[in-house]
Amino acid sequence: MMKKRIFALLLVAAMTLSMTACNSGTTAKDTNTATPETTESTETKENTETKENTETKENTETTAPAETTSEENDTFTVAISYMPDTLAPHSGGSDDYTSMTRPLYDKLFIENTTGGLDYYLADSLEVSDDGLTYTIHIRDDANWSDGTPITTADIQFCADYSIHKYGYNRYIRVNGVEGSMNIIDDKTIEFVLPEPYNYQIITLSGMNVYPSHVFNGDPAALESATEYYSTPGFVTSGAYVVSEINEDSFVCTARDDYYRGTPQVKKVVMKVIGSGSTKSIAFENGEIDYMRITTIDELEKYEAQTDKYNIFSMSEARLNYLQVNPFGPANLNDAQREALFYAINGDEVIAGAYGSEKLATNPNSLLTPEMSLYNPDTPDYVYDLDKAKELAKSSGLEGMTLTYIFNKDRANMEAVAVVLQQQLAQIGVTLQIEGMDSSSFFPRFFAASSYNFNGQETTWDLGTNGWDSMKGSTLNQAYSYLNQSSNAWGLTDTCGELAAKINTTTDSEETQKMTDEVIELALAQHRIYPLTYTNYVMVSQKNVTGLDCSPIVPEFIDYLGISVNG
């Protein structure tokens, strides 16, 4: 009797599970197998036009998809790693968060990867001949999602927020001295610096513009606006507004009054997807529309299925490098450092750690090809194993054990460490590799430069780090490296002096000459070894196009170029 009851119970349970599963299967399938309808063939061309940022209202108005396209086909689903508690423009900092809020907030302008500027809220930036005055004009048609025009009052509000938070206006401050900020009219504003400072372009391009009218000009109200920015419908300056916020996702809906035109993708869904392989499975299951790929295996796998997927590749504008720590326990001298660098085979690093030049290339400079000051003729380090062995022996490097740290949150860094370990073993150097997450890595790697010598500067000899967003017309992140505080990286003072000059010189020829000089000087000191220029490779569902229309990482700075209609 008892056996029968148990058997019956098990049967009921199995049937219930089956029915539930079948039911869900239908739902999932409905979503996944929906084939996007083809829209007008002119769309692709119009996409290209919008990505050049020469957009006009007339141009983008024609990009509206055919009315017959279902709402589902106009949805672009993005995987996010966590659900943010607020979507305030000033709450983030991580690449993940930047990506999440890209559809919502526009910058004034951004530095592109060809040495120029792409304009968004602003339509011009003029720099005076003396390099002191930066005049920005905001687009006449730039507006908030509630219809209010974006004006210089909003820029003033950003400055007020900076004062509220840091105690000074960071947009006019150079070397601890503040200049002035002058509002010319509703759309024009001047930033007058106390001394020339080319880095100002980066500062201004990073400005988050806040809606002054929403907070009545009160920066304290903005600081505590968590609830406001976690409720659908808050005011945005980008192409989308948030229409739905759930526990594990939020939905951005295209604005029909966006000043640059109406996006083709009507809905962007940001959805939390589990870690590890879950994302790949979700992608292949059609739950998300694209994902980044970082290994050659993944690349080859998806390249072999071109009927199902599209591959997009763009330079990440990132330089990964190996740093020799001047405060490391081994205290390596110049000959020892030279021996190390002779032993590194850059091409082998690419082949071993990345597997293909599609994912990364061998660099020659501390600058990336996306920077206008980059010189392709900068002499690279030469691989010479025999010389490395000879130097290692004569300098006493042979037989030493060095501690090597890397950030395992960064793609391929572990593989790079393993390749370097093998290469340096050939000259009798043992690398003790320590991988750690970002939050542990940065206080250790930057112990001398940013953490006031917190004691961890003496715990490692070699480390790999990367500089991202290396684009534009300045030295970018290489500036603070070369113009080091506290002698953090062991470079001579001349490097810092030259970097400072480059940052204040307005003559472009002179700037280029000094840049070449400082890069060669820095490399000659065998403190830093440029390891890789990385590419940002993405795979998308076949119907998705335009992911590389504005090749800026974190993705996607310009949603107008993206289409989900093939």
For the bound state, the minimum distance from the C-beta of residue 290 to another protein, rounded and expressed in Å, comes to 16
Q: How far is CA 550 from the centre of its chain?
A: 13
Q: What is the 3-state secondary structure (H, E, C) of 298-312?
A: HHHHHHCCCCCEEEE
For the bound state, the minimum distance from the C-beta of residue 11 to another protein, rounded and expressed in Å, comes to 15
**Residue 28: count of CB within 10 angstroms of its CB:** 13
Q: Is the CB of 444 or the CB of 527 nearer to another protein?
A: 444
Paired with 315 in beta bridges are 535
Cα distance between residue 297 and residue 311, in whole Å: 14
Cα distance between residue 133 and residue 195, in whole Å: 9
Q: Is the CB of 23 or the CB of 401 nearer to another protein?
A: 23
For the bound state, the minimum distance from the C-beta of residue 509 to another protein, rounded and expressed in Å, comes to 29
- Identity of the residue numbered 392: A
Q: Is the CB of 81 or the CB of 492 nearer to another protein?
A: 81
Q: Is the CB of 130 or the CB of 437 nearer to another protein?
A: 437
Q: What is the 3-state secondary structure (H, E, C) of 142-205?
A: CECCCCCECCHHHHHHHHHHHHHHHCCCCCCEECCEECEEEECCCCEEEEECCCCCCCHHHHHH
465 touches 418 (CB < 8 A): no
Whether the bond between 556 and the residue before it is cis, its omega within 30 degrees of 0, is: yes
Q: Is the CB of 60 or the CB of 543 nearer to another protein?
A: 543
For the bound state, the minimum distance from the C-beta of residue 160 to another protein, rounded and expressed in Å, comes to 17
Q: Is the CB of 327 or the CB of 342 nearer to another protein?
A: 327
Q: Is the CB of 6 or the CB of 66 nearer to another protein?
A: 6
For the bound state, the minimum distance from the C-beta of residue 328 to another protein, rounded and expressed in Å, comes to 17
Residue 369: DSSP 8-state: T
For the bound state, the minimum distance from the C-beta of residue 120 to another protein, rounded and expressed in Å, comes to 25
Cα distance between residue 218 and residue 241, in whole Å: 23
For 189, phi then psi, to 5°, come to -140, 145
Cα distance between residue 325 and residue 318, in whole Å: 21
For 136, phi then psi, to 5°, come to -115, 135
DSSP per-residue codes, 305-361: TTTTEEEEEEEEEEEEEEEE-TTSTT---HHHHHHHHHH--HHHHIIIIISSTTTEE
For the bound state, the minimum distance from the C-beta of residue 316 to another protein, rounded and expressed in Å, comes to 21
Q: Is the CB of 274 or the CB of 396 nearer to another protein?
A: 274
For the bound state, the minimum distance from the C-beta of residue 413 to another protein, rounded and expressed in Å, comes to 16
For the bound state, the minimum distance from the C-beta of residue 22 to another protein, rounded and expressed in Å, comes to 7
296 touches 355 (CB < 8 A): yes
For the bound state, the minimum distance from the C-beta of residue 114 to another protein, rounded and expressed in Å, comes to 29
For the bound state, the minimum distance from the C-beta of residue 134 to another protein, rounded and expressed in Å, comes to 17
Q: Is the CB of 276 or the CB of 376 nearer to another protein?
A: 276
Cα distance between residue 524 and residue 522, in whole Å: 5
Q: Is the CB of 169 or the CB of 412 nearer to another protein?
A: 169
* Contacting positions for another protein (CB under 8 A): 1-2, 6, 17, 20-25, 27-29, 31-32, 77, 81-86, 90-91, 93-94, 165-168, 170, 173, 175-176, 223, 226, 244, 246-249, 251, 269, 271-278, 281-282, 284-285, 287, 409, 437-440, 443-444, 450-451, 454, 456, 480, 485
What angle, 0 to 180 degrees and rounded to 10, lies between the N-to-C axes of helices 385-395 and 334-343? 150
563 touches 47 (CB < 8 A): yes
Q: Is the CB of 41 or the CB of 439 nearer to another protein?
A: 439
